[in-house]
Amino acid sequence: MSNFDDELAQHISEISKEKQPERDLWRGIELGITSQQGDASSSTVTSKQWMAIAASVCLVTVLWFAAPFAFKADESRSDGYALIDAMSMQQQQQVNSLLASYESTTALTEDWQEQLKELDDAADVIKAALKDDPDNSALIKMLHHVYQQQIALIERVHAPKWQQI
């Protein structure tokens, strides 16, 4: 057995300590750097994109702080619903912010508020089902999808004429 150990130790000592790349990587790195510089100079972040980024950060923060409450097994069902309440509150703030930003823009359709009401009703039905089963990931995904549809509807009906195809 010691002969095997000696051979293994010899082979290990012969192995190079540093892994060399199979090809020259500098060309890819250089292209990546120049394309990032070109992208940064040619693109600007719009206020809608900043709003979406801010909303995402808020949602992640809310989920971060609400998650311990949602995953405690010994807590009551109402504590598991804290995540849904936080999502709903964040969504309402985002909708209000969008509506305020489009206040001076004329809507492209007349019935968009009815559509928004239907989406609100759908969200209420999903939230009612979540009260009975707050850990149901399928219902949470459905609620999130309805919220995304609300935001998309508001942005779509208030899109400036130059953004329409």
pLDDT tens figures, 31-46: 777 665 555 544 455 7
What average pLDDT does the structure give for the chain?
Answer: 76
Cα(125)–Cα(130) distance, rounded to whole angstroms? 9
List all residues 6 or more positions away from 154 whose beta carbon is below 8 Å from its beta carbon: 95, 98, 99, 102, 112, 116
Tell me the pLDDT tens digit for each residue of 123-144. Answer: 999 999 888 888 888 888 899 9
| Whole-model pTM over 0.85 | no
- Site of tokens 């057995």: 1
CA-wise closest residue to 136 among 83, 86, 65, 62: 83
Cα(35)–Cα(163) distance, rounded to whole angstroms? 27
Q: Which secondary-structure segment (H or E) carries 88?
A: helix 82-101
DSSP-derived letter for residue 104 is T
